[in-house]
């Protein structure tokens, strides 16, 4: 019987950006192109361990095409489901290339982000990213190296590097994948400085409500983060992705514990403050359906 396993590329978004997509690949005597449709729910938007003071739960429908050559394209919408704000908060498009050769695997992708003007997502000033991942299977564990550049709307681009150690464990005739994972991410914080300037301190970009619950279009608080240009460890994560495949359906659940590092030193019009970072637990759940489009 032909079986399909899940290649999970968890970069930092709950993985980092849109390249953190669940993909499937046929493990049989023939490679195949396929379409993957997914519906996921994420209880909060976390990026590099950072989040807004108000939770941003998302329902994420997506559809992607994955060619047997390794090329892929994916479109995702993020619908904000919080009681006070319900809207399409984000729309993003990803394209790239995935490969697997013996013990090596990885890929390269580019993503364009289109945020709602009222979004209080911690990434809401990001407009695009370029991301790469390279993994090697040591049998006892898999080691991955992640690198990306995130481009901000009004600020300098961010550079991120990450190291991911995981151990895929298969059960139930390889239909169940348990993948305990430890990740370390480091980088700059220009994205965070832009987010604080536009959202966190009440400077909401449109008429939406976030922290503070009001729009302050007539008063703008200027914010500078002393560590924005520095390259520091930003986040440590422990996660336990679970994936179960039944025929062409894939069920997934991923609990994650994030331990943010390097508190930001904020300079505003009112003074200098040091951010109080706290560890956070968040999770996502989803269901995917895939089908082949052509064979060799």
Provide DSSP, the chain: --EEEEEE--SSTTTSSTT--EEEEEESSS-EEEEEEEEEEESS--BTTB--SS---EEEEEEEEE-TTSEEEEEEEEEEE-SS-EEEEEEEEEEEEEEEETTEEEEEEEEEEEE-TT---TTTTEEEEEEEEEEEE-SS-EEEEEEEEEEESSSPPEEEEEEEEE--EEETTTTEEE--EEEEEEE--HHHHHHIIIIITS--SSS---TTSS--TT-----EETTTTS-EEEEEEEE--EEEEETTEEEEEEEEEEEE-S--EEEETTEEEE-----EEEEEEEEEEEEEEEE-
Which domain range does residue 123 map to?
Answer: 3-188+233-261+280-295
pLDDT confidence band for 167 (50 / 70 / 90) = very high
pLDDT at 130 over 80: yes
Per the CB < 8 A criterion, the answer to whether 210 and 54 are in contact is yes
Comparison of pLDDT for 270 and 132, the residue scoring more: 132
Q: What is the pLDDT of residue 197?
A: 87
pLDDT confidence band for 200 (50 / 70 / 90) = confident
Residue 129 falls inside a structural domain: yes
pLDDT at 183 over 50: yes
pLDDT at 3 over 60: no
Residues constituting the chain: 296
Tally of domains in the chain: 1
pLDDT at 231 over 90: yes
Q: What is the pLDDT of residue 208?
A: 47
Q: What is the pLDDT of residue 154?
A: 86
Q: Is 173 left (phi over 0), alpha (psi -120 to 50) or beta?
A: left
CA distance 62 to 36: 8
Residue 135 falls inside a structural domain: yes
pLDDT at 46 over 50: yes
CATH at 99: 2.40.160.40
Residue 90 falls inside a structural domain: yes
CA distance 288 to 40: 8
Residue 217 falls inside a structural domain: no
Q: What is the pLDDT of residue 283?
A: 94
pLDDT at 142 over 50: yes
pLDDT confidence band for 204 (50 / 70 / 90) = low
92 exposed, middle or buried (CB, 10 Å; 0-12, 13-18, 19+)?
A: buried
Q: What is the pLDDT of residue 189?
A: 95
Residue 173 falls inside a structural domain: yes
pLDDT at 259 over 80: yes
Comparison of pLDDT for 36 and 212, the residue scoring more: 36
| Mean pLDDT rounded to a whole number for the chain | 82
Tens of pLDDT, residues 5-38: 333 343 333 333 333 333 343 333 346 888 989 9
Residue 107 falls inside a structural domain: yes
CA distance 224 to 269: 10
Residue 164 falls inside a structural domain: yes
Tens of pLDDT, residues 101-120: 889 988 889 999 999 999 99
Residue 255 falls inside a structural domain: yes
pLDDT above 90: percentage of residues in the chain: 52
pLDDT at 210 over 70: no
Q: What is the pLDDT of residue 239?
A: 92
Q: What is the mean pLDDT of residues 143-167?
A: 93
259 beta partners? 236
Q: What is the pLDDT of residue 219?
A: 56
CA distance 101 to 104: 5
Q: What is the mean pLDDT of residues 232-250?
A: 92
pLDDT confidence band for 268 (50 / 70 / 90) = confident
Comparison of pLDDT for 94 and 6, the residue scoring more: 94
């Amino acid at each position: 019987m032909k079986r399909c396993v899940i290649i999970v590329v968890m970069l930092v978004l709950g993985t980092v950006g849109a390249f953190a997509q669940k993909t499937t690949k046929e493990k049989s005597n023939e490679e195949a192109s396929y379409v993957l449709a997914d519906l996921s729910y994420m209880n909060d938007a976390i990026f590099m361990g950072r989040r807004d003071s108000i939770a941003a739960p998302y329902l994420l429908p997506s559809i992607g095409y994955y060619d047997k050559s390794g090329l892929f394209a994916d479109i995702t919408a993020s619908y904000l489901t919080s009681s006070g704000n319900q809207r399409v908060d984000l729309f993003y498009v990803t394209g790239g290339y995935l490969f697997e050769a013996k013990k090596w695997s990885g890929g390269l992708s580019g993503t364009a982000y289109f945020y709602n003007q009222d979004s209080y997502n911690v990434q809401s000033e990001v407009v695009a990213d370029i991301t790469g991942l390279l993994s090697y299977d040591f049998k006892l564990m898999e080691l991955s190296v992640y690198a990306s550049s995130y481009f901000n709307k009004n600020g300098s681009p961010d550079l991120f590097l990450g190291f991911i150690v995981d151990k895929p464990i298969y059960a139930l005739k390889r239909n169940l994948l348990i993948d305990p994972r430890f990740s370390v991410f480091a980088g700059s914080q220009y994205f965070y400085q832009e987010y604080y300037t536009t959202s966190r301190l009440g400077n909401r970009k449109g008429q939406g409500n976030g922290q503070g619950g009001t729009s302050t279009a007539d008063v703008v608080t200027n914010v500078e983060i002393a560590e924005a240009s520095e390259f520091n460890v930003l986040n440590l994560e422990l996660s336990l992705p679970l994936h179960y495949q039944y025929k062409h359906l894939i069920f997934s659940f991923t609990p994650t514990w994030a331990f943010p590092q390097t508190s930001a030193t904020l300079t505003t019009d009112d003074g200098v403050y040091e951010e109080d970072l706290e560890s956070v637990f968040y999770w996502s759940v989803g269901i995917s359906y895939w089908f082949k489009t052509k064979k060799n």
